[in-house]
Structure 1
Amino acid sequence: MGKDKKKQKAKDKKWNYDTLPYRRGIGIALFNPAGRVFVAQRLDSPGPAWQMPQGGIDKGETPLDAAWRELHEETGVTSAELIMESEGWLSYDLPAELAKTLWKGKYRGQEQKWYAFRFTGEDSEIDIEGEHPEFSAWKWADFRTVTELIVPFKRPLYQKVVLAFGHLAK
C-alpha cells in the first residue's frame, strides 16, 4: 500500500460522522408580492437541485447580517424587507459521503436560522451571476410545494420552514 493510501486510511479512521458538529448558517425564504418564493438551481449538483438562498455566518456577523449578505451575494437583491424569523435553529444532516468532502469534513450538516423576506423590487433586479455564482437558473415557486424541488436530504428541514412560514404564502 502506498504512502498516500495509508495516510488516507488513517485519516478516514479518525473521522467520525456521528461526533461532527453542525455548521452555523442562515436560510432565506424570499417571497414576491404574489406570495411565491424564490428558488434557484444549484450549479454544483447534477439533475434538479433547487434551493432557497442560504449560507454560513462569518466571524463577527449576526445571523440577520449574514442573511442580508447572503441574499445580496446569491440573488443580487437589496429591495426586500424582513417579515419574520424562525423561532429556533433548524438543522439538516448531510449524507455521510458528502460530509466527508464538503467543508473539509468538519461538519455533519448545518444548523440554520431562517428568515422570511418580502421582495419589494422588480424581477430585473435579480442577478444570480454575481462574483461567486452558485446557481444556473431561478424561478418563483409555490411555497407549499417547494419541498418537492429540494434534494432529499434537505426535505425534512424545508418541511419545517414551510410550517414556520407557510402562512406568508398566498
Structure 2
Amino acid sequence: MIDADGFRPNVGIIIANAEGQLLWARRVGQNAWQFPQGGIKASETPHQALFRELHEEIGLTANDVDIVACTRGWLRYRLPRRMIRTHARPVCIGQKQKWFLLQIRCQESQICMTATPKPEFDGWRWVSYWYPLGQVVPFKREVYRRALRELSPRLQRIALEGNSSRIESSGGGYSSDVSASDASSRSGEP
C-alpha cells in the first residue's frame, strides 16, 4: 500500500529494557543494523501492524511488551534514487512511519529472530538510547532523530521503573567486537 504522495505506511519499533537500553537488530547477511520496522497492510491499523511485525521480526507478542508511547504524526524519509523502483506502479519514493516505544516485559531469551521462515534479522544487542543515530543508514537518520527525541521523555519512565523492578536478564543477544556497553559510552544525545 502506497499513499498518493508515494510513501509506504510503516511502523517503527523501539524496544527498551528496564535499564533504558534499546534493542538494535542486524539485517540478515549484512553488517547493517536498525530498529525493527515493517509495512502497514491496507486492512490494518498501525497498532495491528505493530504487533504483527513485532512477532514476525522479533518473535514477541503483545503479552511480552507494554506500549509506552507512539509518535504523534507520521515521520517520513525518502529513499535514495538508486533504491527507487521506477518501473513499479505505484512508485514508492519513501516511507511514512508511526514509531512505537515499547518496554519489554518478558525474559530476553524469548526474543527470537527466526519466528518466520524468512527472517529479516540474524542478530541483536542492547545499545544506549542515542547510539542508533550514529549507526543507521544516512537516509533514515533524521527520522530516527525525530522519533527518539519525541519519545525520549517517556524513556525516563522506563528507567525509573527499571530501577525498582529489574527484569532478569538471561543473555542471548548478538555478540560482536563492539559491545553494547562500549556502544553506550560512545554515543550521547545529538
TM-score range, shorter chain: 0.7 to 0.9
> Percent same amino acid at aligned positions?
35
1:162 aligned onto 2:148: yes
Q: 1:70 is matched with which residue? A: 53
Q: Distance in 2 between matches of 1:148 and 1:135?
A: 19
Q: 2:23 is matched with which residue? A: 38
- Conserved in 2, the CA contact under 8 Å of 1:128 and 1:136? yes
Shift of 1:104: 7.1
The partner residue of 1:111 within 81, 92, 96 is 96
- Conserved in 1, the CA contact under 8 Å of 2:24 and 2:34? yes
1:51 aligned onto 2:34: yes
* 1:77 alignment partner AA: L
Q: 2:114 is matched with which residue? A: 129
Map Cα deviations across residues 93-117 of structure 1 (whole Å, 9 max, x no partner). Answer: 1111111279777201100111111
Matches within 5 A, 1:1-20: none
Q: 2:138 is matched with which residue? A: 152
- The 1:82–1:103 alpha-carbon spacing in structure 2 relative to 1, beyond 3 Å, is farther
Map Cα deviations across residues 87-137 of structure 1 (whole Å, 9 max, x no partner). Answer: 100011111111127977720110011111110011110001121200121
Higher helix residue share: 1
Give RMSD over aligned pairs.
Answer: 2.1
Larger radius of gyration between Structure 1 and Structure 2: 1
* 1:152 alignment partner AA: P
Q: 1:92 is matched with which residue? A: 77
- The 1:134–1:103 alpha-carbon spacing in structure 2 relative to 1, beyond 3 Å, is farther
- Conserved in 1, the CA contact under 8 Å of 2:24 and 2:126? yes
* 2:45 alignment partner AA: T
Q: 4+ runs of 1 displaced by more than 4 Å?
A: 101-105
Segment of structure 1 superposing worse, 93-102 or 157-166: 93-102
1:143 aligned onto 2:129: yes
Q: TM-score, normalised by structure 1?
A: 0.81
Q: TM-score, normalised by structure 2?
A: 0.73
Q: Distance in 2 between matches of 1:43 and 1:162?
A: 24
- Conserved in 1, the CA contact under 8 Å of 2:40 and 2:46? yes
1:22 aligned onto 2:4: no
Q: Distance in 1 between matches of 2:48 and 2:138?
A: 28
- Name stretches of at least 5 consecutive residues in structure 2 with no aligned partner: 160-190
